[in-house]
Amino acid sequence: MAIRPIITAPDARLRQISKPVETVNDDIRALMDDMLETMYDAPGIGLAAIQIGVPLRIIVMDLAGKDEDPEPRYYINPVVLDTAEEMAVYEEGCLSVPEYFEEVERPAKCGVRYLDYDGAEQLIETEGLLATCIQHEMDHLEGTLFIDHLSRLKRDLIIRKLKKEQRLAAAE
């Protein structure tokens, strides 16, 4: 396993639409292992493959608390089957938009079909933080960031600050 660099906004690669995984094999499992290690190191609770520069429809996450045993989850080619009309608001952050957190409204529940770590098809009904996290990570697969759900003013302000931070870091 290896820790890989995480791409940050406004990098254009984050706007790519990810391609489906053709076959779940050892290379895909090794990629997911790297993604999980990268996510834990960051630290974060979810990561899409595009965030490490791989435009494939893969998500990893772990919602276990700090003092709980890890509960890694792997989602290959996830598809939202349905969403609730009821909405929920969570404060979201993103490893590709470091150090910025904003409230985002999303459907409170959603059904998801995906392939697991071994390539077996799974169906789950999600709610709460899991529903929010899956929707957030699935947005990445479509080239969308959580800040795209904010007002244009807030989004533009965050992007300007990120660009400035990147310029300052490059100058050092």
Q: For tokens 């939202």, what's the residue?
A: 80
Q: Which amino acid is at 1?
A: M
Q: pTM, whole model, 2 decimals?
A: 0.94
Residue 172 has pLDDT above 90, yes or no: no
pLDDT for res 171? 86
82 vs 108: CA distance, rounded Å = 11
CB atoms within 10 A of CB 55: 15
- 172 included as an active-site residue: no
Backbone region of residue 22 per phi and psi (left: phi > 0; alpha: psi in -120 to 50; beta: other values): alpha
Instruction: List domains and CATH numbers for the chain.
Output: 12-171 (3.90.45.10)
Q: pLDDT tens digits, residue range 145-170?
A: 999 999 999 999 999 999 998 888 88
Name the DSSP class of 130: H
Say if CB 90 and CB 106 are below 8 A apart.
yes
Cross-strand bridge partners of residue 107: 87
User: CA–CA separation, 31 vs 18, rounded Å?
Assistant: 15
Catalytic residue among 22, 137, 142, 165: 137
